[in-house]
Amino acid sequence: MFLGSVAGRTHILHYKELAPTTDSVRIPVMKIERDISLAQKTTFKIGGSANYYTEVFSFEELKAVLAYAATKSLSIFILGGGSNILISDDGFSGLVIKMNLKGLEFSDYPKTVDCIVYAGEPWEDVVSMAVQRNLQGIENLALIPGSFGGAIVQNIGAYGSEIKDVVQWVDTINIKTGEMKRFGASDCSFVYRNSFFKTSEGKSYIVVKATLRLNKNALLQLHHKDLVEYFDKNGTKNPSLRDVYKAVIVIRKAKLPDLALVGTAGSFFKNPVITLEHFKKIQSKYSDLPHFPVGEGQMKIPLAWIIDKICGLKGYRQGEVGVYEKQALVLVNYDRATQKNVDMLAAFIARAVFDTTGIAIEREVESVLG
């Protein structure tokens, strides 16, 4: 088990339990706060207040606050690391639950290691721990902000890898019943930046932990153009797992804003997937349009290239919000931007992309409305 003290309270997590056994049950101490500002609890630094707010550190506490929400008929929003979300200026009228369930456990097998991770673990800590143990599978996902639970829900991906590639199963709690349910990887309906847990049905389940199967010896994912260019430039012929991890960190830091200085939710839009026919039509006008086959008759297009090269909006600014000067997929809050400011800029960009290419783009960032 893990013993830790948070805000003067001692919390015990029994790593090998799906649900607490009788010897680990204690009376949960609920601290429900009112009218708590959410802006500084997100990486975008935008948003109003939560009508009700609490932080949970154990299964017992989570079940207790869910029961409390049921008695008050409160809608629920699960807050992880605060990345990849845009909270309404009006805040959230229900109960915001900050997930602080933490813990990691490694189960060793001849060629693989199963890593069981609790939802509140910072994602970068999980990647760093895997790299330290020389376990392959998530090193390309280094430095992505947010919590482990959010990474599962979002099916995070970068530099040729996605978390779905290593997920074995996901353990959840049903918001309505408080019952545990395990989902196999195939049950999670993972697709590009999406999963079952983002659907209306899936939002009834809170991810509490999941198991990743990592490899002791496997081929590294080195085909992404940014990695190819990085290792070519540095003369690295046979990069190691740690080389890949360090390269991703260097590349991301060069492209993305420092969260300590600038508010952002990360990549605001998804890269669009279009038909081959549509792609050829655009390519006839823009011959150097980058593209990646993703299935029969379909192409994935780097939206950042379109926003930058075709729309000319890289570095564009509207008041306190703008398109980041080093990465056109990223929208930034320069100081006191509001959700309405971001929505206006996002709509402006979407219109520009559609008018020039005929592509209707989708948001990657989740809007949290009151």
The token duo for 93 is: 């009228």
Residue 79: CATH number of its domain: 3.30.43.10
Instruction: Establish if 233 belongs to a structural domain.
Output: no
**What is the pLDDT confidence band of residue 28, given thresholds at 50, 70 and 90?**
low
Residue that is last in its domain, among 61, 77, 99: 99
User: Which two tokens mark 46?
Assistant: 């935008």
Residue 191 lies inside a defined structural domain of this protein: yes
pLDDT at 6: 32
For residue 187, what is the domain's CATH number? 3.30.465.10
Please indicate, yes or no, whether residues 118 and 187 belong to a single structural domain of this protein: yes
Tell whether the model's pLDDT for residue 22 goes beyond 90: no
- Which residues, 6 or more positions from 300, have their beta carbon under 8 angstroms from its beta carbon? 271, 272, 273, 291, 292, 293, 294
The CATH number of whichever domain residue 348 belongs to comes to 3.90.78.10
Residues 188, 279, single domain; the answer is no
62 and 117 share a domain?
no
**Is residue 249 situated within a structural domain?**
no
Residue 218 pLDDT: 86
pLDDT at 12: 30
138, 220 contact by CB (below 8 A): no
Per-residue pLDDT averaged across 212-217, rounded? 96
pLDDT at 5 over 50: no
- Kind and range of the H or E run holding 93: strand 92-99
Determine, yes or no, domain membership for 220. Answer: no
Tell me the C-alpha distance between 80 and 90, whole Å. 20
pLDDT-derived band of residue 244, with 50, 70 and 90 as boundaries? very high
Q: Is the pLDDT of residue 21 over 60?
A: no
Whole-number pLDDT of residue 370: 77
- CA distances to 102, 157, 222, 259 from 139, rounded to whole Å, are 21, 11, 11, 21
Q: Which of 10 and 101 is assigned the larger pLDDT? A: 101
Q: Please tell me whether residues 339 and 273 are part of one structural domain.
A: yes
pLDDT value for 295? 83
Residue type, 365: V
**Owner of token pair 């993972």:** 190
In a domain, 164, yes or no: yes
**What's residue 269's pLDDT?**
98
Same domain, 30 and 128: no
* Threshold 0.95, pTM exceeds: no
Domain membership of residue 344 (yes or no) is yes
Instruction: List, for residues 154-180, the tens digit of each pLDDT value.
Output: 999 999 999 999 999 999 999 999 999
Do the domain assignments include residue 125? yes
Classify 365 as helix, strand or coil: coil
Q: Which of 84, 99, 114 is the last residue of a domain?
A: 99
Share of the chain above pLDDT 90, in %: 89
Residues 203 and 263 occupy one common structural domain: no
pLDDT digits (tens, 9 = 90+) for 321-362: 999 999 999 999 999 999 999 999 999 999 999 999 999 999
Q: Give the pLDDT mean for 55-73.
A: 94
Residues 198 and 270 in one domain: no
Mean pLDDT check: name the lowest of 21-35, 125-139, 156-170: 21-35
| The amino acid at 104 | L
Residues 263 and 288 placed together within one structural domain of the fold: yes
- Indicate which residues carry an active-site annotation: 193, 267, 364
Contact at 8 Å (CB) between 26 and 9? no
Q: Please check whether residues 148 and 167 belong to one and the same domain.
A: yes
**Average confidence score pLDDT of the chain:** 92
Instruction: Give the residue from 319, 330, 308, 322 showing the smallest Cα distance to 254.
Output: 330
Tokens 């999963």, residue? 195
Containing structural domain, residue 311? 258-368
What CA–CA distance (Å, rounded) separates 333 from 44? Answer: 7
One domain, residues 75 and 140? no
Split into its structural domains, the chain has a count of 3
Looking up tokens 């006839």 gives: 284
Which residues lie closer than 8 Å to 164 by C-beta, 6 or more apart? 155, 185, 188, 190, 195
79 and 128 inside one domain: no
- The H or E element spanning position 273 is strand 273-275
Co-location of 122 and 88 in the same domain: no
What average pLDDT does the segment 74-92 reach? 97
**pLDDT band, residue 14 (cuts 50/70/90):** very low
Tokens 């260097």: give the residue: 250
From 65, 99, 133, give the residue that closes a domain: 99
Lowest model confidence (mean pLDDT) among 18-27, 87-96, 213-222, 223-232: 18-27
Phi and psi angles of residue 224, each rounded to the nearest 5 degrees, phi first: -65, 140
What whole-number distance in Å separates Cα of residue 167 and Cα of residue 189?
Answer: 12
pLDDT of residue 266: 92
Q: Yes or no: say if 145 and 123 are a contact pair by the CB < 8 Å rule.
A: yes
CA–CA dist 138, 141 (Å, integer): 5
Taking only the tens place, the pLDDT of each residue in 143-158 is 999 999 999 999 999 9
Q: Assess if residue 85 is contained within a domain.
A: yes
